[in-house]
RNA sequence: UGGGGUAUAGCCAAGCGGUAAGGCAUCGGACUCUGACUCCGACAUUCGGUGGUUCGAAUCCAUCUACCCCAGCCA
């Protein structure tokens, strides 16, 4: 009986692996030239300061997928160079999400903090080469000295300290002799560079802050621009893939590599991050939704986090399929969320057992069906997968159908139940509506029908055609369930776009940052308490997924579902051409 | 107005000098005991604009335009 819940279909083999994108083209070229001796080694480098979202999934699929496709390796490396932001909670969540997506880093789990000693040594080398110096300028002064987009910067008065002095000062920075912000170590490059990243960037800052992995060992921490390329080099990364905003950091990346690394040099390539319609993906904004309680947490089923999708009922296969389909390019773009949902439905259609659930029940009485009688009917579990087998459901005189499936005064193309009309009850009989019972307020409380015993599914007269087929649950077997209908958190296609016109922007416009909150969909969650569902759902395992016939895909909630209190989340609705046709009128 | 990028259909996206892949969306139609699925069909005489090179240009050259990113001791 529980078989239905476990009969998870075969995962479709993804054959779209010969993907053509500019990064793979580069790799094919590198392979042809035997660069890196034929090695392909990538890495996924999250900062453990938040949960992974759908945008990260694109990067994970690119990095792990590329390694897989070219017979290479992909490391997981936490970019944990800023202890004030980071936490092990995020480290664990990130690991779980990557595993859930189906990728494996083998034994190659690394942390930038693993390299703090080596990075310190690299910095010392730079000083010894006269290519780095300790600078006493305040943060404000550094900003002033940096110049602007159109004007060159000025050299720091500390720029020409002797190597010995720099060495001494840097060591004393490490030893904790100076307070936060008192000094920094900077690369000595070019204050007049048109690329601001090259204007003597800070590479080490003083931060008296315990680190989640190194504890109190360090009070100076390397900056991303310094730690990242060198970590790549330490791990023998060949292709270092990141997003577009780091494009003008590439000269700096190369500068550190060229000055400190011999042998194979990792190369950085940049691709456009994912944007999704009706979705916010900025870490800051997601954090806000969580912290201000607009959602129940990072794993709220409405969140575009991987934890949220998991709780919602998305399959990892569908997310990977999506990531493979959207492509990888350098043009900023916003993918229609309809594509994600398409991938989801395609996967779930093949896998999810069908079951009947009435979300907004209205009672039907089959007046010519004997009182007290019940009978077992056979129902196929998944027409897409015969191996999923059959189950038995109970029919009885009283049953429930969807309130929406009855209309007293229907339009011409209405295939469902209405007075005097016939419909088939899925897996059961054809019934005909004879009478409508209403209460004092005119609300329909019962629909009286007769059934045609000859039309039993699979029976001799079962071939008779009627236009509509309804899902139903008999009173004899129905159990109550809570159903949570989730909708988009934002209805706006681009919730992150400012509503204010750029032209009118005044200097003082801090508040715009929270603009997106005003676009929250007030109906993103609707809770239905008295749904009638097949009794088999009582035993559904948390996280198991079903198609509620004619309605959509639903998932037994990972946290709240139990046999005593069945709770189902709507993952996504079925496509509904009837609703679309209605809307057009 | 400095530097770095990007422009191919409603949305993604291939294309790499030989005459515009594919997917999503949309619109028909077939099938259907899920108005689902599936299937069949339609959907860029044109690649941001303009000039040029060439027998031939989305691809090469010139120029213009639009949009994105950069002035953290964040990543």
* Predicted local distance difference test score (pLDDT) of residue A2: 33
Q: Per-residue b/e over A322-333, b at no fewer than 16 CB within 10 Å?
A: bbbebbbeeeee
Among A425, A444, A423, CA closest to A433 = A423
From the alpha carbon of A242, which nucleotide's C1' atom is closest?
B75
A532 in Cβ contact with A357 (< 8 Å): yes
pLDDT tens for A316-350 read 999 999 999 999 999 999 999 999 999 999 999 99
User: Taking the CA of residue A425 as centre, how many other CA atoms within 13 Å lie in the half-sphere pointing to its CB?
Assistant: 34
H or E stretch covering A444: strand A444-452
Q: Does nucleic acid strand B have an atom less than 7 angstroms from the CB of A16? A: no
Q: Does nucleic acid strand B have an atom less than 7 angstroms from the CB of A476? A: no
* Predicted local distance difference test score (pLDDT) of residue A143: 98
pLDDT tens for A527-578 read 999 999 999 999 999 999 999 999 999 999 999 999 999 999 999 999 999 9
Which ipTM did the prediction report? 0.97
pLDDT tens for A183-232 read 999 999 999 999 999 999 999 999 999 999 999 999 999 999 999 999 99
Question: Does the annotation count A283 as an active-site position?
Answer: yes
Q: Does nucleic acid strand B have an atom less than 7 angstroms from the CB of A413? A: yes
Residues A366-371, mean pLDDT to the nearest whole number: 97
- Find the Å distance, CA of residue A458 to C1' of nucleotide B36: 21
User: For the whole model, what pTM was predicted?
Assistant: 0.95
- Report how far residue A231's alpha carbon sits from residue A237's, in angstroms, rounded to the nearest whole number: 9
Question: Does the annotation count A550 as an active-site position?
Answer: no
Catalytic member of A131, A154, A265, A273:
A273
Q: Does nucleic acid strand B have an atom less than 7 angstroms from the CB of A196? A: yes
From the alpha carbon of A578, which nucleotide's C1' atom is closest?
B35
Question: Does the annotation count A47 as an active-site position?
Answer: yes
* Predicted local distance difference test score (pLDDT) of residue A460: 76
Q: Does nucleic acid strand B have an atom less than 7 angstroms from the CB of A100? A: no
- Find the Å distance, CA of residue A148 to C1' of nucleotide B1: 12
Helix (H, G, I), strand (E, B) or coil at A465: coil
Q: Which nucleotides of chain B have an atom under 7 angstroms from any protein CB?
A: 1-8, 10-16, 22-27, 33-38, 67-75
From the alpha carbon of A341, which nucleotide's C1' atom is closest?
B24
- Report how far residue A375's alpha carbon sits from residue A398's, in angstroms, rounded to the nearest whole number: 12
Q: Does nucleic acid strand B have an atom less than 7 angstroms from the CB of A335? A: yes
Under 8 Å CB-to-CB from A559, ≥6 apart: which residues?
Answer: A311, A542
Catalytic member of A35, A47, A108, A482:
A47
pLDDT tens for A19-42 read 789 999 999 999 999 999 999 999
Chain A residues 141 to 180 with C-beta below 7 Å from nucleic strand B: 142-143, 146, 148-150, 180
pLDDT tens for A392-423 read 999 999 999 999 999 999 998 999 999 999 99
Chain A residues 105 to 134 with C-beta below 7 Å from nucleic strand B: none
- Report how far residue A331's alpha carbon sits from residue A5's, in angstroms, rounded to the nearest whole number: 43
Strands (E), A231-342: 239-243, 267-271, 275-276, 334-335
Q: Does nucleic acid strand B have an atom less than 7 angstroms from the CB of A382? A: yes
């Amino acid at each position: 009986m529980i078989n239905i819940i476990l009969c998870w279909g075969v995962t479709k083999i993804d054959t779209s692996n010969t993907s053509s994108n500019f990064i793979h083209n580069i790799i094919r070229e590198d392979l042809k030239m035997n660069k890196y001796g034929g090695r392909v080694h990538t890495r996924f480098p999250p900062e453990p300061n938040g949960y992974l979202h759908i945008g990260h999934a694109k990067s994970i699929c690119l990095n792990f997928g590329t390694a897989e496709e070219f017979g290479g390796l992909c490391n997981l490396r936490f970019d944990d160079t800023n202890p004030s932001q980071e936490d092990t909670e995020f480290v664990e969540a990130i690991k779980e999400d990557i595993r859930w997506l189906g990728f494996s880093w083998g034994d190659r789990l690394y942390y930038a903090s693993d390299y703090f000693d080596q990075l310190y040594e690299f910095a010392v080398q730079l000083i010894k080469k006269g290519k780095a110096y300790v600078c006493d300028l305040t943060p404000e002064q550094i900003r002033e000295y940096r110049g602007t987009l159109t004007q060159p910067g000025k050299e720091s008065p500390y720029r020409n300290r002797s190597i010995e002095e720099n060495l001494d000062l840097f060591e004393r920075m490490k030893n904790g002799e100076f307070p936060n912000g008192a000094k920094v170590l900077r690369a000595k490059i070019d204050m007049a560079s048109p690329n601001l990243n090259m204007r003597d960037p800070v590479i080490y800052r003083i931060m008296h802050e315990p680190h989640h992995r190194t504890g109190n060992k360090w009070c100076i921490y390397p900056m991303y621009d310094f730690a990242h390329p060198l970590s790549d080099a330490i791990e023998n990364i060949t292709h270092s893939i990141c997003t577009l905003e780091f494009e003008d950091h590439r000269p700096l990346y190369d500068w550190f590599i060229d000055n400190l690394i011999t042998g194979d040099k990792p190369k950085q390539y940049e691709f456009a991050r994912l944007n999704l319609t009706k979705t916010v993906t900025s870490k800051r904004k997601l954090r806000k939704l969580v912290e201000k309680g607009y959602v129940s947490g990072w794993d709220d089923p409405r969140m575009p986090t991987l934890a949220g999708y998991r709780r919602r009922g998305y399959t990892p296969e569908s997310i990977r399929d999506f990531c493979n389909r959207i492509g990888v390019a350098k043009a900023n773009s916003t993918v229609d969320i309809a594509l994600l949902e398409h991938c989801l439905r395609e996967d779930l259609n093949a896998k999810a057992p069908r079951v009947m659930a009435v979300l907004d029940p209205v009672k039907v009485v089959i007046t010519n069906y004997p009182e007290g009688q019940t009978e077992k009917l056979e129902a196929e579990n998944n027409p897409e997968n015969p191996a999923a087998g059959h189950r038995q459901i109970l029919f009885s005189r009283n049953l429930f159908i969807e309130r929406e499936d009855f209309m007293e005064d229907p339009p011409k193309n209405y295939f469902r139940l209405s007075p005097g009309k016939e419909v088939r009850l899925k897996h059961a009989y054809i019934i005909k509506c004879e009478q409508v019972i209403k209460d004092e307020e005119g609300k329909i409380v019962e629909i009286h029908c007769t059934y045609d015993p000859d039309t039993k599914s699979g029976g001799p007269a079962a071939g008779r055609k009627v236009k509509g087929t309804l899902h139903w649950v008999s009173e004899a077997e129905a159990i109550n369930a809570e159903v949570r209908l989730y909708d988009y958190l934002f209805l706006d296609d681009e919730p992150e776009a400012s509503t204010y016109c750029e032209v009118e922007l005044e200097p003082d416009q801090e508040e715009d940052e929270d603009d997106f909150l005003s676009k929250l969909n007030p109906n993103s969650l609707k809770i239905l308490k008295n749904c009638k569902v097949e009794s088999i759902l009582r035993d559904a395992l948390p996280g198991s997924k079903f198609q509620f016939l004619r309605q959509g895909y639903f998932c037994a909630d990972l946290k709240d579902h139990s046999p005593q209190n069945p709770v189902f989340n709507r993952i996504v609705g079925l496509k509904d051409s009837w609703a679309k046709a209605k809307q057009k009128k």
